[in-house]
Chains A and B, each alone.
Chain A
Amino acid sequence: MSGVFTPELLDRCISCGFCLPACPTYGLTGVEASSPRGRINLMRALETGVLPEDDPTVLEESSFCLGCRACEPVCPAGVRYGALLEEWRDHMWRRRRRPWRLKALLWAVDRPSRVRALGLPRRHAHATRRARGGPHLMLGCFERALYPEVSRSASRLAPELSVPSVQGCCGALHAHNGELERGNALARELGEALPGSIVTTAGGCAAHLAGVLGRERVRELSQWLADRGDAEPPGVSRSPRQRIGLQDSCHLRNGLGVYVEPRELLARVGDYVELPSAAVCCGAAGTYSILRPDDSARVLNRHLDEIADADLDVLAVLNPGCYRQLEQGVRRRRLRTRVMHLAEVLVGTTGAAPGP
Chain B
Amino acid sequence: MTATSAEIDRLLDRLEQVVGQPNVRADAGALVTYATDATPLQRGRPDLVVLPANTEEVAAVLTLANDARVPVIPRGSGTNLSGGAVPLHGGIVLVLTRMNRLLEISESDLVAVCEPGVRTIELGEAAAAKGLLYPPDPGSQSTATIGGNVAECAGGLRALKYGVTRDYVLGVQAVLATGEVIHSGGRLVKDVAGYDLRRLLCGSEGTLAVMTELTLRLLPAPESSGTGMAYFSALGDAARAVSRVLASGVLPVTLEFLDRVCISAVEDFARIGLDTGAGALLIFGQDGDPHAVERDLGRIAQACEAEGATEVRIAGSPAEAATVLEARRAVLPSLSRLEPLTILEDATVPRSRIAEMVEHIQVLADRYGLKIGTFGHAGDGNLHPTAVLDPADEDAVRRAHRVFGEIFAKAIELEGSITGEHGVGIVKLPHLERQLGAAHVALLRRIKAAFDPNGILNPGKLGS
A residues near B, CB below 8 A?
A: 11-12, 14-18, 20-21, 30-33, 35, 37-38, 41-42, 45, 50-51, 55-58, 60-61, 74, 76-78
Contact = CB atoms under 8 A, between A and B. Distances in A.
Nearest to B77: A17
The 6 A-B residue pairs with the shortest CB-CB distance, nearest first, are: A57-B29, A11-B340, A76-B333, A38-B33, A32-B33, A17-B79
B38 A76 contact: no
A17 B97 CA distance: 13
A84 to B, nearest CB: 14
A74 B141 CA distance: 13
Given A11-B340, A17-B77, A78-B333, A31 B30 contact: yes
Given A17-B79, A21-B119, A76-B333, A33 B29 contact: yes
A17 B33 contact: no
Contact of A32 (B28, B38, B78): B78
B142 A18 contact: yes
Contacts of B78: 17, 32
Contacts of B38: 14-17
Contact of A42 (B33, B79, B119, B144): B33
B254 interface: no
A56 B28 CA distance: 9
Nearest to A35: B33
A33 B22 CA distance: 13
A57 B77 contact: no
Given A16-B38, A21-B119, A32-B34, A58 B29 contact: yes
B28 A31 contact: no
Contacts of B213: none
B38 to A, nearest CB: 5
Given A14-B40, A16-B140, A57-B27, A78 B337 contact: yes
Interface of B: 25, 27-30, 32-40, 49, 51, 77-79, 95, 97-98, 119, 140, 142-144, 332-333, 336-337, 340, 342, 391
Nearest to A52: B28
Given A14-B342, A17-B38, A17-B77, A30 B29 contact: no
A66 to B, nearest CB: 18
Contacts of A12: 340
A37 B77 CA distance: 11
Contacts of B29: 33, 42, 45, 51, 55-58, 60-61
B36 to A, nearest CB: 6
Contacts of B391: 11
Contacts of A45: 29, 32
Nearest to A19: B143
A79 to B, nearest CB: 10
B337 A51 contact: no
A32 to B, nearest CB: 4
Nearest to B339: A11
Contacts of A56: 27, 29
Given A12-B340, A17-B38, A56-B27, A33 B143 contact: no
B336 A77 contact: yes
Contacts of A61: 29
A77 B333 contact: yes
Contacts of A38: 33
B36 A15 contact: yes
Contacts of A14: 38, 40, 336, 342
Contacts of A77: 333, 336-337, 342
A56 B78 CA distance: 24
Nearest to B32: A45
A17 B140 contact: yes
Contacts of B98: 30
Contact of B332 (A20, A58, A76): A76
Contacts of B340: 11-12
Contact of A41 (B32, B40, B79, B119): B32
A93 to B, nearest CB: 17
Contacts of B28: 51, 55, 57
A15 B140 CA distance: 12
B36 A31 contact: no
A76 B139 CA distance: 11
